[in-house]
Structure 1
Amino acid sequence: MGDSSAQYIHTVQHLIEECIIFDMSKEECMEALSKHANIKPVITSTVWKELEKENKGFFDAYTKRREERESEMETRQRIHKMQLESSTQDTNK
């Protein structure tokens, strides 16, 4: 059982690394692996947490970069919405 368990964890780790390449959050990764690889979210979460412990600096930077991107996207969406509203008001005059 030990070898197969270690191989399974290694597989989950590899799939998590693939999710990171696609800039997924932990939650998005858990959902994707559940849906596409039939891996229970609790397994993905546990392996992810262990990877975070082993690679704290990487995950801190990764999380910060993702948060900054999300903030930028929210700002762009707000600006776009304001521009649309302004354009609509100009058309109605």
Structure 2
Amino acid sequence: MELTAQATRRSAARDADGMAVASFILGLLGLLVLNVFLGPIAIALASVALWRGTARRGRAFLGLGLGVADLLVLVAFMQFDSTVSWNF
């Protein structure tokens, strides 16, 4: 019984670490393309990873910051173009 509980905790920690890395990658990618989708996803993944106690807190915080930056870039370009969307 104890062995399965340890395996479950290890699996949950690995999932939280994966979410932290995924939020960082999606936040970074969102600065270039699809920031309206990737920004909120990066924010959500980083928040869940931090809530679950990831060992990669730095990556989770970077993913959170990049997700917010994605949305700020979107708002800046929308103000610049006076449209709802932006492109290169």
Q: TM-score, normalised by structure 2?
A: 0.50
**Structure (1 or 2) with the larger CA radius of gyration:** 1
Q: TM-score, normalised by structure 1?
A: 0.48
Larger RCO, structures 1/2 (Cα 8 Å, 6+ apart): 2
